[in-house]
A = this chain, B = another copy of it.
Amino acid sequence: MVIDISAHFTFELNGPTDILLQYEAAELPEQSILSTNSQFDTSDYFARVAAQDSIGTRIWMRKDGHCEVDYKARVAIHRITADLSTLDMMEQHKLPGETIQYLFDSRYCPAERFHSFVETQFGDLTGGAKIVAMRDWVAENMSYEPGSSNANTTALDSFVERRGICRDYAHVIVTMARACGFPARYVSVYAPDVSPPDFHAIAEVFLADPDDSGSGTWHMVDGTFMADPSKTVKIGVGRDAADVSFLTSFGLCNFKEKTVTTEVFSD
């Protein structure tokens, strides 16, 4: 599967300002960047640094005035998708060290508070089947309402209010998965069926591999059902939405406009 991506956004700065960007498709075993082109205006400073878990890169800039980012990429995806419901949970004591941070509460995912709910709601299930049930619970119980959440909205808020956008769907799944002891992280992605077209966010859960090797793999889970893993391009990962904003400004930033398109180029 080959996917064509374009993203274009503009913003206005009011003096020299540090900007952190994270919007480029990550080069990964499961997705190859066939071509990529990021165009900016000349900037005072530009540096790429490795992003969280060494997945993708972040870009530091120091800029002023009108700024414009134009990005085009073609990405080949050869992600092997699994039937989650057949996979086992990984026993915690066998989890590799780098997954441990994803067991803990984060800014938008206060998992500790959901122990009782997940035990009652999903206690009969195990492994990937439990994750599938969480995804389906979110799809059934939440309504997708642009504008219903803001930068303070946590998974707890979304759980109570039963509404949100992709960010909130992902937070609720991440929170419930962690409440059951699964490492779960937040992933920003490009996906062709996202409507209206935009950056998208999903959850990833770490499950045991089926081969008894003792190893495990991160699996995509999307409660909005807009991102098919076989067509989804990963940008970056984090604990939750606090970690993978496509634009973070250290100073006043007047955001102007954004256009994102993601299309299947070939199967």
Which residues of A does B touch, CB under 8 Å? 18-20, 45, 47, 49-52, 58, 60-62, 91-98, 100-101, 103-107, 109-110, 112-114, 116-117, 120, 141, 143, 150-152, 156-157, 159-163, 181, 238-239, 242-243, 248, 250
Contact = CB atoms under 8 A, between A and B. Distances in A.
B100 A49 contact: yes
A152 B100 CA distance: 20
Dominant SS among interface residues on chain A:
mixed
Contacts of A114: 160-161
Contacts of A49: 95-97, 100
A18 B45 CA distance: 47
B106 A162 contact: no
Contacts of A162: 116-117, 120
Contact of A160 (B58, B92, B117, B248): B117
A104 to B, nearest CB: 5
A192 to B, nearest CB: 29
20 contacts: A18-B181, A19-B93, A20-B92, A50-B97, A51-B97, A52-B100, A52-B101, A60-B93, A60-B94, A61-B93, A105-B242, A106-B239, A112-B151, A113-B157, A113-B161, A114-B161, A116-B143, A116-B161, A120-B141, A159-B160
Nearest to A118: B162
A121 to B, nearest CB: 9
